[in-house]
A = this chain, B = another copy of it.
């Protein structure tokens, strides 16, 4: 009898999946549901709120709750820190700094991060290895206006990613995934052939409205990003 919010949630879920409550249909209101399940309204509310978060139902004040026509299915990816990603596979992680230089921000980067004309950036090229094999190539640009202290950091031992995570606690982020081709420069680093298809993640990060860093992560050919839900 005494239903928990999980009971309510899974019962409503099954009513939706079996089609008893078809897409577009109005779901009974919270008070009625609380009565039928013999629980408090807050319990029903939590179940419904989570279902709404999951994209299965749509809730509007006064209008009531209805089953979504096309359930919005969301995939969640944990944006991986390379070291953790590699270690979780049981492989030994190795990091190497390829080059480091301070230079004026190139035009494409200024446009992408909305930087001022005379912005200087710290450009870092790094490699990440799993059990000695090339795993990921990191091409990173750090806005020295936002993070002047980056200039003095030695990135020989600790990768810029981990340093940034420890330094800027929270940020706005834009991530995009795409497929590209390995060019001459990449083939050397990733030990692959020119024209191999490579998986690329690009990430731009802002903090308090100011651009902090842009990074292009290129994985060795064959890499897959997988999620289950």
Chain A residues within 8 Å of B, Cβ to Cβ: 13, 16-19, 23, 55-56, 70-79, 81, 84, 162, 165-166, 169-170, 172-181, 195, 197-200, 221-229
Contacts and interface: CB of A to CB of B under 8 A. Distances in A.
Nearest to A15: B169
Of A55, A73, A180, chain B has the most CB atoms within 10 Å of the CB of A73
A37 to B, nearest CB: 20
A46 to B, nearest CB: 9
Nearest to A16: B169
A73 B23 contact: no
A85 B225 CA distance: 21
A225 B77 contact: no
Of A74, A178, A221, chain B has the most CB atoms within 10 Å of the CB of A178
A198 B198 CA distance: 10
Contact of A76 (B13, B74, B226): B74
A75 B17 contact: no
Q: How many copies does the complex hold?
A: 2
A221 B180 CA distance: 9
B225 A176 contact: yes
A200 B226 contact: no
A169 B72 CA distance: 11
A123 to B, nearest CB: 23
B77 A74 contact: yes
A225 B73 CA distance: 15
A199 to B, nearest CB: 4
11 contacts: A19-B169, A71-B165, A72-B79, A73-B78, A74-B79, A174-B227, A175-B227, A176-B224, A178-B224, A179-B197, A197-B198
Contacts of A228: 172-175
A55 B56 CA distance: 22
Contacts of A178: 179, 199, 222-225
Contacts of A73: 78-79, 173
Contacts of A181: 195, 197
Contacts of A16: 169-170
